[in-house]
Structure 1
């Protein structure tokens, strides 16, 4: 029973490590060169997260500009904010002109 529990824990750890380093990214995205890769030619750990946004860059950029702590926040799910960053407010749901 102890061996099975240890094996299950090991499998769970490996799965979380993989998900944590590759969430949302495709195999092609994880294997292509990205800007800045030349700055660290032999990294110990590689993390590539991605998401597909069906909008032109001109619509996405204003949201990225206001990203950050004390600004529009991180656009994570509210339960994640409450769990990991309880002092942070909720993520912005509208564009805020003062943060542009």
Structure 2
């Protein structure tokens, strides 16, 4: 009964979302914003700092942020810094959740 109820309940998969704070020289702003957007990130604020630096606050799924230090170093030629912390959980988009669900079903069928 529980399995039938779960299947009919249309459950969702949640993913952890991180709050990202990136400090970069102004000339890299466009590239950094594009990179964050390409990782399903959402820009929250952009704040100018001294010495022509910008601080970008954004949220980004944790799964998209694992190699961010490498990407940031590449984009900014080593001149950018970042920090991240857990923010919240959000629903995994269906185009990403469906393959995950199918894979899990296949594994379950093999057992």
Under a length normalisation based on structure 1, what TM-score does the superposition of the two structures give?
Answer: 0.23
| Larger relative contact order (Cα-Cα within 8 Å, sequence gap ≥ 6) | 2
Higher-strand-fraction structure: 2
